[in-house]
C-alpha cells in the first residue's frame, strides 16, 4: 500500500514534457514617454511559439509588422521572416548563424526569488536573469512543464522550466510577454515549412548589414 501511495505522489508531481505544442503570449512594450509611439504600435500584439520535436517557430504579430523565426535544431537550418510596410524579407540561417544570433545569451544566469504567481493555469516562480553584459530582466517560469527542445530560444536554454512571463531587452526598450495559453495539441508540420517564394532573400551577413536579425 505504501508503495502505491508513493507512486501516486510521484505521478501527481511529475513534470510534463512539452515535446509538441504551442505557447501563446500577449505582448506589450514597457517604456518611458520617449517610446510612446512604439508602445502604441505594439497595442494588441501577440507572440506564438510552436514546438514539434527539434523544430520550432516563433511568430510575433503587431500593428508595426510581423516577425517570424523558424529553426530546425537537428538540421541546423532556419530563417527569419520579416513583413514591414509591404516589404517581405527572408534571412537564411545555418547553425553558426543561429549561434551568433543567440550569443548575447551565452553565460546567462537565473537567480530565483520568493515571488510566485499563477499564469495561464500554471504556478510560476519568479527569477532574475542576468546576461554577460550586465543586462538583467525578470522571468516567471513554471517547472510543472519542461521544454524538450532546449534550442528553441537561446534566452531560455538553461531555464529549468517554461517561461510564461518575461521581458526581452533591446537597449532602453523592454518588451513584456505574458502567456495566455499553453497547449499540448499537435502542431501541423506545415508550420515549419520555409517559404519558397514571395520573399526577398538575404544571407545572414546581408541581414546584419541591413539591420535585420
Convert the pLDDT of each residue in 117-168 to its tens digit. 999 999 999 999 999 999 899 999 999 999 999 999 999 999 999 999 999 8
Q: Tell me what the mean pLDDT of segment 75-96 comes to.
A: 95
Q: Which residues contact 173 (CB under 8 A, 6 or more apart)?
A: 29, 30, 31, 35, 38
Q: Which residues contact 84 (CB under 8 A, 6 or more apart)?
A: 64, 65, 66
Q: How many distinct structural domains can be found in the chain?
A: 1
Where does the pLDDT of residue 212 fall: very low under 50, low under 70, confident under 90, or very high at 90 and above?
low
Whether 161 maps to a domain, the answer reads yes
Where does the pLDDT of residue 6 fall: very low under 50, low under 70, confident under 90, or very high at 90 and above?
very low
Whether 2 maps to a domain, the answer reads no
pLDDT of 104 above 80: yes
pLDDT of 1 above 60: no
Whether 86 maps to a domain, the answer reads yes
Convert the pLDDT of each residue in 8-33 to its tens digit. 444 445 789 999 999 999 999 876 54
Q: Which is more confident, 172 or 104?
A: 104
Q: Which is more confident, 173 or 194?
A: 194
Q: What is the CATH number of the domain that holds 88?
A: 2.50.20.10
Where does the pLDDT of residue 209 fall: very low under 50, low under 70, confident under 90, or very high at 90 and above?
confident
Whether 1 maps to a domain, the answer reads no
pLDDT (0 to 100) of residue 34: 56
Sheet holding 200-202, edge to edge: 109-119, 122-130, 136-142, 162-170, 173-183, 20-30, 45-52, 55-61, 66-72, 77-84, 87-94, 200-202
Q: Which residues contact 82 (CB under 8 A, 6 or more apart)?
A: 65, 66, 67, 68, 88, 89, 90, 91, 212
CA dihedral over 11, 19, 50, 109, signed as positive or negative: positive
Q: Tell me what the mean pLDDT of segment 74-101 comes to.
A: 95
Phi and psi for 168 in degrees, rounded to 5?
A: -115, 125
Whether 6 maps to a domain, the answer reads no
Lowest mean pLDDT among 22-26, 58-62, 72-76, 172-176: 172-176
The residue assigned the cell 538575404 is 202
Q: Print the domain residue range for 35.
A: 15-209
Whether 76 maps to a domain, the answer reads yes
Q: Considering the entire predicted model, what is its pTM?
A: 0.87
The residue assigned the cell 530565483 is 112
Whether 23 maps to a domain, the answer reads yes
Whether 3 maps to a domain, the answer reads no
Amino acid at each position: 500500500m505504501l508503495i502505491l501511495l508513493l507512486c501516486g505522489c510521484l505521478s501527481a508531481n511529475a513534470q510534463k514534457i512539452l515535446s509538441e505544442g504551442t505557447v501563446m503570449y500577449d505582448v506589450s512594450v514597457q517604456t518611458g514617454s520617449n517610446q510612446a509611439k512604439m508602445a502604441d504600435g505594439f497595442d494588441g500584439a501577440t507572440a506564438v511559439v510552436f514546438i514539434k520535436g527539434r523544430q520550432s517557430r516563433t511568430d510575433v504579430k503587431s500593428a508595426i509588422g510581423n516577425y517570424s523565426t523558424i529553426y530546425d535544431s537537428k538540421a541546423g537550418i532556419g530563417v527569419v521572416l520579416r513583413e514591414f510596410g509591404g516589404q517581405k524579407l527572408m534571412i537564411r540561417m545555418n547553425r553558426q548563424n543561429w549561434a551568433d544570433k543567440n550569443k548575447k545569451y551565452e553565460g546567462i544566469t537565473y537567480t530565483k526569488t520568493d515571488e510566485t504567481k499563477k499564469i495561464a493555469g500554471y504556478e510560476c516562480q519568479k527569477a532574475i536573469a542576468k546576461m554577460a553584459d550586465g543586462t538583467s530582466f525578470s522571468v516567471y517560469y513554471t517547472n510543472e512543464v519542461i521544454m524538450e527542445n532546449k534550442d528553441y530560444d537561446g534566452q531560455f536554454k538553461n531555464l529549468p522550466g517554461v517561461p510564461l512571463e518575461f521581458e526581452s531587452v533591446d537597449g532602453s526598450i523592454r518588451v513584456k510577454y505574458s502567456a495566455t495559453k499553453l497547449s499540448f495539441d499537435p502542431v501541423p508540420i506545415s508550420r515549419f515549412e520555409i517559404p519558397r517564394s514571395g520573399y526577398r532573400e538575404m544571407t545572414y551577413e546581408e541581414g546584419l548589414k541591413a539591420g535585420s536579425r
